[in-house]
Each structure stands twice: as C-alpha cells, then as structure tokens.
Amino acid sequence: MVDLDELSLAIEDGDGDLAVELTLAAIAAGLVPQAILGAMTAAMDEVGDRFQANLIFVPEMLVSARAMRRAMAELEPILVEAGIRPEARAVIGTVRGDLHDIGKNLVAMMWRGARIEVIDLGVNVSAEQFVAAVEANKPDLIGLSALLTTTLPSMRAVVEALRRTDLGGARIIVGGAPVNEAFATAIGADAFAQDAGAAVVVARRLLGLSDHPSPPADRAASGSGAR
Amino acid sequence: MTTGRERVLAAINHEEPDRVPIVIGASNATGMKAGPYHGLKRLLGVTSADRYIYDWPELGTILPSEQVMERLHADVRGVFDSFPAATLARNAARPAHSPFIDDWGSGQVEVEDGTWYPGVHPLAEATTIDAIEGYPWPDMDDPSRVAHVREAAAALAADGRYAILATPWLLFSFERAFAMQGLETFLMNLALEPEFAEALLWQIAGRCKALMGHFLDALGDDVDMIKIGDDLGTEQSLLMSPAMYRRILKPVHADYIAFIKSRTTAKVFFHTDGDVFDLLDDLVEIGVDILNPVQSGSGKLGNLAEVKRRYGDRLAFCGAIDTQHVLPHGTPAEVRAEVRRAIATLGPGGGYLLSAVHTVMNEVPAENVLAMVDAAVEFGTYPLG
C-alpha cells in the first residue's frame, strides 16, 4: 500500500529519489492521478507555509521544488492521458534592466507546485516581450519581478504596456526587493506578493481558487520531526 | 581640529566624536555609481576624468575625486588590492562587450549597454571534491596584486586626515561560491551536497587568507579597518537557516576573522546585506567589530532602536540610510529626515558611521547625496540634539 503522506513528506524533505520512487509506486498501484497530484501540491503548500514562517530557507525550498519537479515528470504523462490540466497558466519574468532571477525562479517553482503552468520568460524582459508572450499564451496570471531599485520604472512601463493590450482577464502580480503594496497599487498592478510563499496565496486569491486543504496536523508534526 | 580619522576611531571605539563620521566612496559596498557622481561633478564644477575602483568600469563603482570626497565630508579613504596584472591586461585587450572574466575564472556578461551581471560560473556543474581539487585556482602570491598597497596606505597614513578602510577585492567564501557555481546551484548544494559545499567554502577561504596575508603585510600598521563580508540576508530573512550558518559557514568566517586579528589590530568591518538580525550574536562572537550596511529596510534589522539596544555596546554600525526608497525616490527633505532618524537612534554613545545602505545607485539624484551628507553634519554633531 502506497502512503501518499510519505510522498508529501519526501517532497517536503527534498528527497527527490524517494519522491520519484513513491510516485512510481503510487502509479503502479493504480491510485487516481488526482490523489497523487494532491499529495504533491499539499507538500509544496507546506513548504511555502514553512518558508513564510522562517522555518525553512531558500536552500530547503529549492531542493523541495526539485524533488517535486522530478516526481511530477513521472506523473505528467498520466495526467495528460487522464485529461487533467493545470489549474491556470502564468507568464513570469524579471523586468528589463534587471538580471536577478532567484526570486522569480522561486515564485515559478512554487506556482508550478500549485499546479499553475508557468511560462518563464527569463530575465531582462522588455515590455514588448511581455506583451508578445501574453498574446501568444493567453495566461491567467502575469508575474513581474525586480531586485534593483533602478528597474522599478521598467516595471511600471511593463504594466502600462500590458494595460494597453487585451489581457483577456489576466491578472498582474508584482514582487521583488524594492516593491511594496503601495508601489504595486501606484503602477496599476493587481497585487503584490512579498515572497514565493505569498505568491501562491495571492495567485489563488486572484484566480478564485480555494486554498489547498492543509495537511493533517499529525503529518505536519512528523514532517518537522523528520528534518 | 578633529580629523576624520580621529572621528572614526572614536566612533568605532564606542566613544562620541565631534560628529558622526561619514563613509562614502571608500569601498564598493560604501560606494557610488556614475549617475550620482556625474551629477555631483556638475553641481560642484569638477571636471576630472572618471576613475573606477579596481580599475574596473564594468563594476561601475566610482573612485571619487578628492575634491568630491572633501565636499561629501567623507572621513574614510579606501585602500584596495588589485587584479593580477595579467588579468587586467587580458580584460583590457578583450573584444568590447565580451564577458569580463576575473582571476578566479568567474565573470560578468554585458546584458545591455553598460549593464553587467554575474553570468560566468566555471564550477556550475561541479558536485565533487575532485572537481574542486582539479580546478585551476588563482595564484594569490602574484606580487602585482598588492604591489601598490604599501605606498597607498603609507601616503594616507602620513596625511593623517582620514581613517583607512582596506578592502581586498575578495568576494569571500559564500559569495565567491555563488560566483563559481551560480547562486541557486550553490544554495541547492548546501542542502543536497553539504560535504562538497563545505569543501568549496574552505578551498575559497584558503585562497582568501593567502591574499589577505600579503595584503596585511603590505599595509603594516597603516590601516584602521579591514573590510570583509558575505551577504547572508534577504529582504525578510536569511539566505540559510541559522543552524546551517552555524554548522557550515560560521566556522569559515570565524577562522578568517581570527587570522586577521592575529595579524593586525585594525577593526573588522563586516559587510552583509539583508536582514541578518538573527545572526548578530554569532557575528559578535566571532569577532566582528563593525556591521555594514545595516539594511534598515529589511525585516527585523529595520528596528534600529532594538539593534542598538541589544548590540550597541559590542558592534559599531556603518550604513542604515535607506537606498531602496528614500535615497532614489525621496525628496531632499525626506533624506534629511532619514538621516536624522538614523543618527538619533544609532548615534548616542558613538558607534555609528553614517553611510548609505550599500552603493549609491545610478538613479539617486546628486541633490539627495548632498542632502544626506549635509544632514549628517547638521544632525550628527555631538552632543546630539
């Protein structure tokens, strides 16, 4: 009997080998793909919560996301076969003039963990590139990142350019070191996310998706103990 | 009349000088980019050609002219090491806009005109001790690295007006590991391959110590502060858990600081960005004397009163003037208020050197730089008002 809680724990602990093994075992045991997927997203929710609470830090978050990605690679063909689609699609990038990408990458990882398909445009992305990517991909979310204060005008320019195009209801989320709620409002973004954990919460709120059910308390406790 | 050096020495020894010392232009982390510098030159009628620290235009940090430094009431002057002559010559001869590769083999790429970013990571794929041992590490005994140091430091010491902040251009272990591997890769290796990560940190630290030894030999007694550092914080928190810091990186830092203190009586000036509040006990314990840049917009470190209350007797502070909002986007009046607040909080009893949180970036108006230093003179004169 495959215990999906153990799959969640393996991802939370960043144990990619175990996460893959348990995913393959779950598939072989004929568990419904939604349930396997649910265990993975629950794990990444827990990772995001712990990150926001300063219980884990960037290294642990990176290895959890990597374990999730490896496990997901095994599950993806099954999901496709079953016609299970991601919950939403996002386009993300670091705005022009800025090359810092760890914050943007962490948000992309956490969004993927929340079953949001992410099209990552990379760094130094111009307003034109954002607009073209939005037109081509019809996302539900657009994420803009910046670390340098120097690039804040660039973030404003991207939002202005996006507002001039047909966004088809896509919502704009901004974040990064010099960005705050007031700036997000001032430049016409839909929301500000303080960190990668918050980015998931904010994305779900904007998309009208319910928060993933919290894992049972006993599992969360054993997760901390295993660390 | 009190000299800048006397002012700084009093402050870093936790005594009240005649006024709060001002640190600007003396290192990369307390430096200024070309934008505000050109504005200052215009305002002050300075026409001398631009120079860059480490003769490294791609880094973009100005070595301000003495005329500008004096107008900024700068109390500290920098002494730097040099890239090896061969590295400088190779980069000077390279095709325009091609990557700048340093002596470690890591480097910067130009993403658009004049914008350079770390993009060459020679150990990006490495995960084994063999890969570390097989890497062509730079020769730290190359005499061209420190050939000018003795003379530069002696001239400043003979002049006597300014405190000397000496900075070998070393990204120290943690940041150099980012340069060698890429930030994300190395952070992941800290969690996944701790033995490898630790070995890489110690390999780098050994090179840094070798250069530091030559640098300190050349400086002799002509130095007041040795600047080292590693960025440990983020906007909200730390780049790694306190437990991981204590297990892996703190021993590397402790060893390096002990080495410096065994060779000089200069104070250890430790630069570390972000909210490092939770590591301040550790930094005090391993011998940090001066904390920089006190990133006042980040997390718990933003509570300057608490930082001063808990650590003011053991740490001096250099920095705290916000560079994310106030200096680039504030009015001169808002800059004055920020300076006044920082001095009122960190200045009592000495122990505070006023400086921007990290480099004054390109979009900061020159008027705000002048407002900062003039307010420091106005509000920083002891006894504080």
Which chain B residues have a beta carbon less than 8 Å from that of A105? 184
Tens digit of pLDDT for each residue in B54-63?
Answer: 888 888 899 9
What distance in Å separates residue A150's CA from the closest CA in chain B?
A: 6
Residues A79 and A186 reside in one and the same domain = no
Tell me what pLDDT residue A214 has. 42
Is A178 near chain B, with CB under 8 Å? yes
| Residue A217 pLDDT > 60 | no
What distance in Å separates residue A63's CA from the closest CA in chain B?
A: 6
Tell me which residue has tokens 């250099």: B318
| CA pseudo-torsion sign A161, A164, A168, A173 | positive
Q: How far is the C-alpha of A122 from the C-alpha of A113, rounded, in Å?
A: 19
Taking a C-beta distance cutoff of 8 angstroms, is the pair A26, A37 a contact? no
Question: pLDDT-derived band of residue A211, with 50, 70 and 90 as boundaries?
Answer: low
Q: Which of A14, A99, A148 sits opposite B191 (nearest CB)?
A: A14
Question: pLDDT-derived band of residue A212, with 50, 70 and 90 as boundaries?
Answer: low
Tell me what pLDDT residue A218 has. 38
Q: Count structural domains, chain A.
A: 2
DSSP conformational letter for B299: G
Whether B112 sits inside 8 A of A62 (CB atoms) is no
Residues A102 and A204 reside in one and the same domain = yes
- Across the A:B interface, residue pairs with CB atoms under 8 Å apart total 65
- Tokens encoding B268: 């250890």
Cis peptide before B293 (omega within 30 of 0): yes
Nearest CA in chain B to A17: B192
Residues A78 and A170 reside in one and the same domain = no
DSSP sequence for B221-283: T--SEEEEE---B-SSSBSS-HHHIIIIIHHHHHHHHHHHHHH--SEEEEE--S--GGGHHHH
Whole-angstrom distance between the N-terminal and C-terminal Cα of chain A? 24
Q: Which of A59, A66, A195 sits opposite B244 (nearest CB)?
A: A59
Is A59 near chain B, with CB under 8 Å? yes
Report CA dihedral (B232, B238, B242, B247) to the nearest 10 degrees. -40
Q: How far is the C-alpha of B137 from the C-alpha of B262, rounded, in Å?
A: 25
Residues A109 and A183 reside in one and the same domain = yes
Domain span at residue A11? 1-85+214-227
What distance in Å separates residue B35's CA from the closest CA in chain A?
A: 11
Tell me what pLDDT residue A223 has. 34
Side-chain-side CA neighbours of residue A66 (13 Å): 18
Mean pLDDT of chain A: 90
What distance in Å separates residue A51's CA from the closest CA in chain B?
A: 10
Q: Which of A47, A51, A107, A149 to mutate to test the interface with B (most CBs of B within 10 A)?
A: A149
Whether B236 sits inside 8 A of A150 (CB atoms) is no
What distance in Å separates residue B34's CA from the closest CA in chain A?
A: 13
Residues A200 and A92 reside in one and the same domain = yes
Question: pLDDT-derived band of residue A225, with 50, 70 and 90 as boundaries?
Answer: very low
Q: Which of B110, B196, B236, B358 to mutate to test the interface with A (most CBs of A within 10 A)?
A: B236
Give the residue among B314, B309, B307 at the shortest CA–CA distance from B293: B307
Question: pLDDT-derived band of residue A215, with 50, 70 and 90 as boundaries?
Answer: very low
Q: Give domain status of residue B384, yes or no.
A: no
Taking a C-beta distance cutoff of 8 angstroms, is the pair B111, A99 a contact? yes
Residue type, A170: A
Helix (H, G, I), strand (E, B) or coil at A193: coil
Task: Give the CATH number of the domain where residue B24 resides.
Answer: 3.20.20.210
Q: Which of A11, A99, A227 to mutate to test the interface with B (most CBs of B within 10 A)?
A: A99
Task: Give the CATH number of the domain where residue A171 resides.
Answer: 3.40.50.280
Question: pLDDT-derived band of residue B45, with 50, 70 and 90 as boundaries?
Answer: very high
Tens digit of pLDDT for each residue in B141-187?
Answer: 999 999 999 999 999 999 999 999 999 877 799 999 999 999 999 99
Is A224 near chain B, with CB under 8 Å? no
Question: pLDDT-derived band of residue A55, with 50, 70 and 90 as boundaries?
Answer: very high
Give the count of beta carbons closer than 10 Å to the beta carbon of residue A209: 16
Residues A219 and A201 reside in one and the same domain = no
Q: Give domain status of residue B385, yes or no.
A: no
Q: Give domain status of residue B155, yes or no.
A: yes
Tens digit of pLDDT for each residue in B92-149?
Answer: 999 999 999 999 999 999 877 777 888 999 999 999 999 999 999 999 999 999 999 9
Task: Give the CATH number of the domain where residue A1 resides.
Answer: 1.10.1240.10
Q: Which of A128-142, B32-46, B106-120 has the lowest mean pLDDT?
A: B106-120
| Residue A46 pLDDT > 50 | yes
Whether A59 sits inside 8 A of B183 (CB atoms) is no
Residues A37 and A8 reside in one and the same domain = yes
Nearest CA in chain A to B115: A97
Residues A73 and A26 reside in one and the same domain = yes
Tell me what pLDDT residue A216 has. 37
Tell me what pLDDT residue A5 has. 97
Q: Give domain status of residue B191, yes or no.
A: yes
Domain span at residue B237? 4-379
| Residue A187 pLDDT > 60 | yes
Q: Count structural domains, chain B.
A: 1
Residues A59 and A101 reside in one and the same domain = no
Tell me what pLDDT residue B384 has. 96
| Residue B1 pLDDT > 90 | no
Give rounded-to-5 percent helix, strand, coil for chain B. 45, 15, 40
| Residue A101 pLDDT > 60 | yes
Is A149 near chain B, with CB under 8 Å? yes
Q: Give domain status of residue B173, yes or no.
A: yes
Nearest CA in chain A to B327: A149
Q: CA distances (Å), A149 to each of A98, A127, A153, A180, B230, in order?
A: 9, 17, 8, 12, 21
Tens digit of pLDDT for each residue in B193-247?
Answer: 999 999 999 999 999 999 999 999 999 999 999 999 999 998 888 999 999 999 9
- Among chain B, residues having any CB pair with chain A shorter than 8 Å are 111-112, 115, 117, 119, 183-184, 187-188, 190-192, 234-241, 244, 323-325, 328-329, 361-363
Whether B362 sits inside 8 A of A150 (CB atoms) is yes
Whether this prediction's pTM lies above 0.90 is answered by yes
Question: pLDDT-derived band of residue A220, with 50, 70 and 90 as boundaries?
Answer: very low
What distance in Å separates residue A214's CA from the closest CA in chain B?
A: 24
Helix (H, G, I), strand (E, B) or coil at B317: strand
Q: Give domain status of residue B357, yes or no.
A: yes
Report CA dihedral (B159, B162, B165, B168) to the nearest 10 degrees. -30
Q: Give the pLDDT mean for A87-116.
A: 92
Tell me what pLDDT residue A147 has. 85
List all residues of chain A from 182 to 221 with a beta carbon under 8 Å from chain B.
194-195
| Residue A9 pLDDT > 60 | yes
Tens digit of pLDDT for each residue in A83-94?
Answer: 999 989 999 999
